[in-house]
Amino acid sequence: MPPIPGAGLAKGLAVTLRTMTKKTVTAQYPDVQPELPPRSRGVIALFEENCTVCMLCARECPDWCIYIDSHKETVPAAAPGGRERSRNVLDRFAIDFSLCMYCGICIEVCPFDALFWSPEFEYAETDILELTHERDKLRDWMWTVPEPPALDPAAEEPKEIAAARKTAEKLRTQREQEAAAAATPPAPTDPAPTDSAPTDPAPTDPLPTDPTPTDEEGRT
């Protein structure tokens, strides 16, 4: 079918007319803060208590913009006769947001839930060096991380929550039993019998006496 002359023009004008009649929406930022979706990728926050310095995030970062320094410390044995253990202690954790491309790989690969997305985005700097956020600054971003969404009530209970709930219930039962045992007064006990039947002294065998030596005729 041959194209109708002027059809493209009419189509374009229809789009223009449709757009002209729509209500315009102008974001009044910065006077009014935008309502961002809860999973917005603004800045990365570090919960350093969870970080074991496994280096997975730094190794997987495609931009190599995570800098981690650490040293090892020896932890004494927990019980007598046990072995000493060594653990990594974090010295430096920094992310260079002038290189970061906000892919989220570091957050995905962290096995210990130490990295989180925060929707905060107002950290522009005039000096590019200031965009390297050190450990304390990354820690401060944790206060801006939104709460995780509530679980679907129809969903199966996560394994971790089920295990934690069982442990908590076991502990509570144990504490209740201990409290009940402490509150119960001790049962009275009968006094021990004092007068016992007299016992005859044990017969003692007389010591054998040596026979008086006699001479051959029987004289003593």
- The answer on whether 51 is annotated among ligand-binding residues is yes
Output the six-digit token pair for 33.
């803060």
Considering only the stretches 46-54, 74-82, 126-134, 137-145, report the one whose residues sit in contact with ligand SF4 under the rule CB under 6 A: 46-54
By beta-carbon proximity to ligand SF4, the closer residue of 122 and 217 is 122
Give the binding-site size for ligand SF4 (rule: CB under 6 A).
25
By beta-carbon proximity to ligand SF4, the closer residue of 12 and 38 is 38
By beta-carbon proximity to ligand SF4, the closer residue of 122 and 152 is 122
Output the six-digit token pair for 18.
């449709």
From candidates 43, 45, 65, 138, binder to ligand SF4 by CB under 6 A:
65
The verdict on 57 binding ligand SF4 (CB under 6 A) reads yes
From candidates 16, 36, 69, 102, binder to ligand SF4 by CB under 6 A:
102
The verdict on 138 binding ligand SF4 (CB under 6 A) reads no
- The answer on whether 65 is annotated among ligand-binding residues is no
**Nearest to 41, CA basis, from 196, 145, 124:** 145
By beta-carbon proximity to ligand SF4, the closer residue of 42 and 104 is 104
By beta-carbon proximity to ligand SF4, the closer residue of 91 and 169 is 91
The torsion region of residue 44 among left (phi > 0), alpha (psi -120 to 50) and beta comes to beta
Annotated binding site: 51, 54, 57, 61, 100, 103, 106, 110
Q: Which residues sit at the interface with ligand SF4, rule CB under 6 A?
A: 51-57, 61-63, 65-66, 68, 95, 100-106, 110, 112, 114-115
